[in-house]
């Protein structure tokens, strides 16, 4: 262990999926945590997913959301999209459609165009959510996303 967060995250992924090593969720969590604690956005999103699914750790929506928030705050699309899901469903955080819509919108602006599946999922989630919202709520969410993007630059 040389403290390299990219390598730590990759090792966590290998243990989580049994790639070149025997699948071991305990090891996966350990390596994801090391990278996530150093601010690695993908490791933070991966750790959030583990807590949300209860893989290698007891299911804990609040802990899951905490890691998604850290990842999303760095502008990482997967963290943003997953944080949108947490807000939409009230998982680990109070349900808030405006926040969910905002995070889906931010994810859409962060997902590379080559990631068609990721873009389609975020767009589908945002469109489904929009059906439950008023036009004023959508406008508020779009304004919040714009303001967030403006401060990120």
> Is 66 within a domain?
no
Say which residue the tokens 């873009």 belong to: 119
Same domain assignment for residues 78 and 115: yes
> Is 69 within a domain?
no
| Mean pLDDT of the region 52-74 | 97
Report CA 48 to chain centroid distance, whole Å. 7
Predicted local distance difference test score (pLDDT) of residue 113: 83
Same domain assignment for residues 1 and 39: yes
Predicted local distance difference test score (pLDDT) of residue 1: 61
Q: What pLDDT band is residue 135 in, cutting at 50, 70 and 90?
A: very high
Same domain assignment for residues 33 and 90: no
> Is 89 within a domain?
yes
Number of domains in the chain: 2
Predicted local distance difference test score (pLDDT) of residue 101: 98
pLDDT at 21 over 90: yes
Q: How many CB atoms lie within 10 A of CB 9?
A: 24
Q: How many CB atoms lie within 10 A of CB 131?
A: 6
Same domain assignment for residues 36 and 107: no
DSSP state of 114: T
Residue of 71, 118, 72, 119 lying closest to 99 (CA atoms): 72
pLDDT at 144 over 80: yes
What domain range is 18 assigned to? 1-59
> Is 64 within a domain?
no
Q: What's the whole-model pTM score? A: 0.92
Grouping H, G, I as helix, E, B as strand and the rest as coil, residue 55 is: coil
Domain end: 59, 87, 103, which one? 59
């Amino acid at each position: 262990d040389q403290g390299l967060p990219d390598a730590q995250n990759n090792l966590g992924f290998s243990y989580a999926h049994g790639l070149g090593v025997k699948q071991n969720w305990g090891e996966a969590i350990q390596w994801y945590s090391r990278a996530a604690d150093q601010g690695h956005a993908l490791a933070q999103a991966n750790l959030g997913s583990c807590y949300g699914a209860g893989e290698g750790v007891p299911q804990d929506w609040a802990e899951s959301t905490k890691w998604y928030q850290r990842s999303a705050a760095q502008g990482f699309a997967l963290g943003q999209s997953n944080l949108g899901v947490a807000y939409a469903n009230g998982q680990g955080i109070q349900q808030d459609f405006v926040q969910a819509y905002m995070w889906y919108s931010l994810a859409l602006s962060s997902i590379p165009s080559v990631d068609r599946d990721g873009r389609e999922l975020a767009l589908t989630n945002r469109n489904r959510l929009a059906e439950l919202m008023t036009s004023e709520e959508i406008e508020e969410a779009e304004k919040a996303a714009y303001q967030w993007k403006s401060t990120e630059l």
